A and B are shown apart, each in its own frame.
Chain A
Amino acid sequence: MSQITNSELDRRSLLRRAGAVGLAAIPAVGMLSACVGGGSEEPAKQATGEKSADNPLGIDPKAPVEIVIFDGGLGTKYATDVDTPIYKKKWPESEVKYSATQEISTVVQPRLNAGDAPDMINNSGAKMMDFGAIVAAGQAQDLTDLFAAPSFDIAGKTVAETLVPGAVEQGSYSGKPYAVNYSYTVFGLWYNKALFTKNNWTVPTTWAEFTALCDKIKAAGIVPFGYAGNNAAYYMVRALLTSAAKIGTEQALKDIDNLKPGAWTAPAVLEAAKAWGEIGNKYLDKSFLGLKHTEVQLRQNQDKVAFYPCGSWLENEQAKDTPPGFEYAVAAYPSVTTSDQLPAPALNAAAGEIYFASSKGKNPRGGMEYLRVMLSKEAAKEFTNLTKSLTVVAGAAEGLTLSPGLTSANEAITKAGKDLFMGYLFDTWYKKLNDESLSAVNDLMFKGGDAQKFCDRMEAASQAIAKDSSVQKQTRS
């Protein structure tokens, strides 16, 4: 998810890394392995302290804690101006060693392998590390204690109890939590509320209403639905699989994540692929396959595209291109059939942006304490204020004046009520499968809408991963 959150920056840094890597593709593999084998030795003594009500994680109050923040779309101000001061106020004798980078894997991966890990790491951006591999290598600290500890500033609740549903699960690998996914993203169909009001278009809740509205929008000379095939096909994968979950409940996505045979050819997925393939055939501009996300988003700002599948970072990302009078709003994906098992307002909202404590660092307890500070209501509120992005701390945005898009996202969450689901995790667990889904969904949406082909192809890719012993497997329930 975090690669989406900072997508604008990602693409920019892509250009830079391309130039550098292009020349040295083969030796790079070997260079990377210069640190082969490191990290298996036990680290030096780790700092601990006495556990108490005031110090539930048992940190050493005098031990320094080192944090590394990704300097991307969210900036670093929330860490330097909010989190660190709160931490220092509580632990004045513990020094916070702070650094920020745009290239997390370049900076942190060699240190992990060399047994010199920072204590708390924000794993994000185009150069984020494969977190599943980090967990598999035993480099990430088990955060069970953190989530069971009392909240930093919400009395009477544990940290886990202060979070939105699914937040802990999302950072869990084989049942154990290893990461805090901090920002909270609402996924749906984004549109310009002002344009819809002007034309008297009402937001559809059923598929029939959706296609009928698309016909009207098309007649008005606007592309009804669009996404960028060049680099943002994962928005479309999410749209399709959200529909699948609405038809067949989140179980459909759990099966996909668990690489269960037949998960991709299940009726719910096929039904969703058929419905979206039809939208692709009729309402999508075929030239969008070659466009980048910013180009399609700009077109939406110019009222040339009506619906755009995306997450709630969209408004902030487009802030400088959004003309006055343009009002971002989000709608849940319409029900596909009349027998959908989840109601129409059901919403995919997921935590993203990984923060983890390193198990091989000098002060993993301190890293966890820093995370506990981040998960305080005070820090979360300021984070939303600074970054225009919601957090997993439930209700932390209360009392803030939110932008139209974020307000709409908040309303959608309320409307969905208990029908919020976190979606799928295979995209971060099995990146190869993720890449296959991008190609497959582009093929489905731009090249004829053959739903069966989409399902069969994904099924084959999923089973290939399941059989590959070199890929570390994850499960969820």
Chain B
Amino acid sequence: MRHGKYPFIIGFLAVPVALYATFVVAAYIQTFQLSMTSWSGFGAIKFVGADNFVKLWNDELFWKSLRHNGYLLLLLPIVTIALALVFAFLLNVGGGSKGGVTRGVWGSKFYRVIFFFPQLMALAIVAVIFGRVFASDKSGMLNGLFPDSWSPWLFLADERWALTCILVVLVWQAVGFYVVLFSAGMGSIGEEIYEAAALDGASRITLFFKITLPLLWNTIQTGWVYLGIAAFDAFALINIMTVDRGGPDGATSVLAMMIYRNTFEYSQVGYASALGVVLFFLTLTFAALTLRVTRRDAV
């Protein structure tokens, strides 16, 4: 029945491809074009060649922002995945095996729901709430918990810790989703494998490292790429939570923040597009690298 295959496929794909081409591909192509201009966002467009990229190279804030993205890129996936794996393991296998059925720790059904809650909240709301948690005076939740005699911790107002506060919120928000993802992955690992291992006298830790982790590798790999891409963004939290948006003194600036400011505040759409181009290639390189480096033969 090969007859009519192409009209069928084209019928299905035409609309999404057209939408994608208009709103994503065309936008990217224009971004590439604009990165070679000094367009302000109004009026005439002047071609300036690679000027924007030279300017970028000499921009201290760009390198600073890149370092911050790198910091998030390194820590966000590692911390989130590690936490999510531990929780997922406890929820699914951590309770040990009884009558041939592996179970989670006591109350795991309840925790499973709780863990997913942060995922349901809009990022903007999360940011406002954590802004209160990390508030730099006694009205802040954490500072309120500290003894009265302590002088308040500055958290977001302290350039050494501001980015770490952002990281904490990102992890908090993401971990629930990956618990669910990994739980689903673990659910598909055959009972008999755990049972056989348990019969051989494997401890829970051995179970985790020798069975769960290798069999989950594909899921983890995907999660890593997602989290990495999230680490390239982080815009919403930084825009809402941080001192002076990206501060204090650039201590939480990231590429997405720079793009936003250059486009909408400094009227330097050309320069912002150049930043966008850099971000595009960084994201692409990261995804390709991650998939390559973490590739393993199927177990």
Contact = CB atoms under 8 A, between A and B. Distances in A.
Chain B binds chain A: yes
Interface of A: 14-16, 18-19, 21-23, 25-34, 36-37, 39-40, 105, 109, 112-113, 127, 129-130, 132-134, 136-139, 229-231, 233, 285-291, 295, 431-432, 435, 438-439, 442-443, 446, 468-472
Given A137-B42, A286-B154, A470 B244 contact: no
Interface string B12-29: 000000000001101111
A39 B43 contact: yes
B243 A18 contact: no
Report, nearest first, the 4 A-B pairs whose CB atoms are least far apart: A290-B136, A137-B43, A30-B27, A22-B236
B154 A137 contact: no
B263 A28 contact: yes
Contacts of A468: 55
A29 B267 contact: no
Given A31-B23, A37-B45, A231-B244, A285 B276 contact: no
Contacts of B123: 19, 22
Given A287-B136, A439-B250, A18 B41 contact: no
A253 to B, nearest CB: 21
B224 interface: no
Interface in B231-262: 233, 235-236, 239-240, 243-245, 247-250, 256, 259-261
B87 interface: no
B43 A139 contact: yes
A291 B136 contact: yes
Contact of A133 (B42, B45, B154, B272): B42
B137 A290 contact: yes
Given A22-B239, A26-B259, A30-B31, A36 B248 contact: no
A31 B138 CA distance: 43
B243 A287 contact: no
A33 B249 contact: no
Nearest to A443: B249
A109 B27 contact: no
Contacts of B248: 229, 289, 439, 442-443, 446
Contacts of B271: 470
B47 to A, nearest CB: 12
A284 B245 CA distance: 21
Contacts of B40: 130, 133, 136-137, 470, 472
Interface of B (DSSP majority class): helix
B285 to A, nearest CB: 15
Given A19-B122, A287-B136, A439 B247 contact: yes
Contacts of A23: 233, 236
B264 interface: yes
Nearest to A16: B124
B298 to A, nearest CB: 34
Contacts of A18: 124, 127, 235-236, 239-240
A290 B157 contact: yes
A127 B263 CA distance: 12
B23 A36 contact: no
A470 B30 contact: no
Interface of B: 23-24, 26-31, 34, 38-45, 48, 51, 55, 122-124, 127-128, 134-139, 152, 154-157, 233, 235-236, 239-240, 243-245, 247-250, 256, 259-261, 263-273, 276, 279-280
Contacts of A231: 244-245
25 contacts: A19-B124, A26-B256, A26-B276, A27-B23, A27-B27, A30-B34, A31-B27, A33-B27, A36-B30, A39-B42, A40-B43, A113-B42, A130-B40, A136-B42, A229-B248, A230-B244, A287-B136, A289-B157, A290-B135, A290-B155, A435-B265, A439-B249, A443-B248, A470-B38, A472-B40
A345 B238 CA distance: 41
B267 A130 contact: yes
A14 B45 CA distance: 29
Which of B26, B27, B34, B265 has the most chain A CB within a 10 Å cutoff? Answer: B27
Given A40-B44, A439-B244, A291 B124 contact: no
A285 B154 CA distance: 11
Given A23-B236, A29-B273, 5 more contacts: A32-B41, A33-B273, A109-B42, A431-B265, A470-B271
Contacts of A26: 28, 31, 256, 259, 276, 279-280
B155 A30 contact: no
A443 B243 CA distance: 12
B263 A32 contact: yes
B276 A287 contact: no
Nearest to A130: B267
A42 to B, nearest CB: 13
Contacts of A432: 266, 268
A242 B271 CA distance: 33
Contact of A230 (B26, B28, B39, B157): B157
Contacts of A34: 27, 30
B236 A19 contact: yes
Contact of B44 (A15, A25, A137, A287): A137
Contacts of A439: 244, 247-250
B259 A431 contact: no
Contacts of A446: 157, 248
Contact of A139 (B38, B42, B152): B42
Contacts of B280: 26
